[in-house]
Every structure is written in structure tokens, then in C-alpha cells.
Amino acid sequence: METKVRTQLKQDYHDRKRAAHCRRIKDDWRSGLGISKLKGAAVPPNAIHHSNVTSFCNKPTTFYWTATAQRYGRCPGFIFGAVYKTWFRYHKNNPPLDHEHFFANLFQITETGPKSIHGIVTAHKLLADQVATVLTRMRQESENGAGQFPDQLLPHYHLLQLSRAIIVIYDEFITPDFVEEPRFRIFLDKEARRQQVLLVLTGDDHELSAPIIFDSILSESLPIAQETSSTVGKPYDMIRVPLIVAIQFILDLQQRENAAAGSVNPASETDWANTYDREATEYADSVLQSFAHDTDAEQKWKLTTAEMRLAVKRIEERERGEEPLPTIDVDMLDPRWE
């Protein structure tokens, strides 16, 4: 029984981390409180600081949500649901959950923010430079013993080079193919295919293992309006594709960069998986250590902590052939999502 309980406790640890991670990101995207905003044509020189720099870390891109694609100044929540579900499933239901890992950092562009592709790309480059500068300063402060960020966590936060090279622009809200009432279900896969985004190359790709080319997704490309493609300054390499195609394309690129970097990659999923397994094992050990094990009294497994009782309950359910918990609980974020 001990082996079964240990395995279940580790799974329970992962389930809780997954739920907490999902709720935190959802709250950021849906409430607007955690969303960064571009309010002017120019990026302020101190836009990035110690308190918000980590939101740019360990994400392969930035998602710019233009004012034309917002509803009443807000970003519709089901878009987050579609992004999260696609990202979660891409990682075979075991995505990295620590240190701000996610598909993208969200930026909401207000009515007074940049409106052209050139303006958004220019702002993105300035923001990325500020992020790199602040991270460097934080590491120097840590080395000098004057750091404001926990020293043990700082090595886990990095500005991914891919995030400098490609951005996502959501510039046109397509009325969803569902009725927004509680009794209806929102099919996220369907909306991920219906909603469209622009993938734009910034030209800042000199640190990548290879250039980014859109050949593999040309068959999915959609028309780009003339007013969108007309930019101030040099033309940018861009493509309009369904949201789900954009997510998978960028995640494939990050996998390519991870493979090229090998174990040197500071944000590799292998490193995260090892960290997760160690943390899950430590959690299971801590729960088991609080239990006085009597090998002749299996009933005692049910008479200890709440964590132990839950683990035993799930083991018994599985042995009875009952359905396991779903691998992704998008409906815990919104009961209409599926």
C-alpha cells in the first residue's frame, strides 16, 4: 500500500500545482489586474522593474491584444481558455508549471497605444531590452548581497531569445460561434481554430539556432488586410493564421531552440521535470513521515491526514475501475468551457 500511496501523493501534488498555476494565469488574463498595458505610442524608460520583470520570463512570445479586438476595453476570457488548453495539451498534459512558464505574456494595447505593426514591434524591442537590463541588474545585486529577489529563485528566470524574435498580435475579434449563457458549452478547440492572429517576425533573431520561416504553415495562412500590411518603416515578415496554428508553431520553435541548446538551456523542460519530480517526491515523503506505518493494519492508511485519506480514496476508485480525474480541468475555470 505504501508504494501506491506514494505514487498517488505525487500525482495529487501535480494536480494541485496545475490547478493553482491555471487559476493564477486565468485571473491575470481575465481580470485585467495582471495584464500589462501599452497606453502610449512610446514605451516609458522605466516600464520594466523588479516587480513585473518575471512576467516576461520563460515564455516563447508576447501576445499583443489590440484595442480593435477587445470588447468594452476587456479581453474575452475564452481566448485564454483556448490558449491554455492548447498549451497544456501540447505538453502532453504535463507542462512546466513553475517560474512563470506559459505560452505568452499578455499585453493589452489601449486606444492610445501603438496602432501600426511597426509601432508594436518597436515597443516590443524596447520592452525586451528593458527586461534584459533589469534581469542583469538583479543578478548583479544578488551577487553583491543586495538582491531584492530570492537568490535561490533568480537563476530560474530567463528572457527566452525566441520571445525577442516573434510576437503574436490579436487584432480582430471574431464573434464566437456559441451563445454566451451559462447553460451552453464553449468549445475551446473550435474557437482556437476560428480566431485568427498575426505572427510577426521582429528581425531580432541573431541569437536563435536557425532563422524562422513560415513555410510549414503557409497552407494555413489567411488573407492580411492591406491596411495591416502597410507599416511605417521597413516591411515585416508576417502571416495570419488560426490561433491554434500560431500556438503550435511557436511551441515547435521553442522545442527546436531547446534541442539546439541541449542541457545548457536555462529554461529547458527537462530541468523543470527534474525539479517537479524532486518536489513531488519531497511532498510525498513529508506526508508519509507524519504517518506511523503499521504493515499489519492497512485500515490505518485511512485514519491519518486529509492528504492521505484523499490518496487512498483515489487508489480505491481506480481499483474499482472508476473514471480517473480529467487531464485538463478547463471547466474549473469556467463551467461553460470544454
Cβ 59 vs Cβ 104: under 8 Å: yes
What pLDDT score does 222 carry?
Answer: 94
Strand partners, 204: none
d(CA 334, CA 28): 15
Note down pLDDT in tens along the chain; length 338 residues: 667 777 777 777 777 777 776 676 766 666 554 567 888 777 888 888 888 888 899 999 999 999 988 887 777 888 888 998 899 889 887 777 778 889 999 888 988 899 899 999 999 999 999 999 999 888 888 887 776 666 667 788 899 999 999 999 999 998 877 665 656 777 888 999 999 999 999 999 999 999 999 999 999 999 987 656 554 445 689 999 999 999 999 999 999 999 998 844 455 555 555 566 777 777 677 777 766 554 445 545 544 566 666 677 777 777 777 755 544 555 455 666 77
Q: Could you tell me which residues come within 8 angstroms of residue 161 by beta carbon, excluding any fewer than 6 positions away?
A: 207, 208, 257
Q: How far is CA 302 from CA 127, 207, 305, 315, 320, in A?
A: 53, 55, 8, 11, 17
- Assign 166 to helix, strand or coil: strand
Output the nine-digit C-alpha cell for 127: 520592452
d(CA 292, CA 22): 35
Q: How far is CA 3 from CA 6, 20, 62, 107, in A?
A: 5, 26, 43, 46
What pLDDT score does 232 carry?
Answer: 46
d(CA 272, CA 170): 30
| pTM check: above 0.85 | no
Cβ 174 vs Cβ 204: under 8 Å: no
What pLDDT score does 9 carry?
Answer: 75
**b/e map 67-93, b = 16+ CB within 10 Å:** eebbeeeebbbbbbbbbbbbbbebeee
Cβ 100 vs Cβ 59: under 8 Å: yes
Cβ 120 vs Cβ 63: under 8 Å: no
Residue located via cell numbers 511532498: 283
d(CA 190, CA 234): 35
What pLDDT score does 187 carry?
Answer: 83
Residue located via cell numbers 533573431: 205
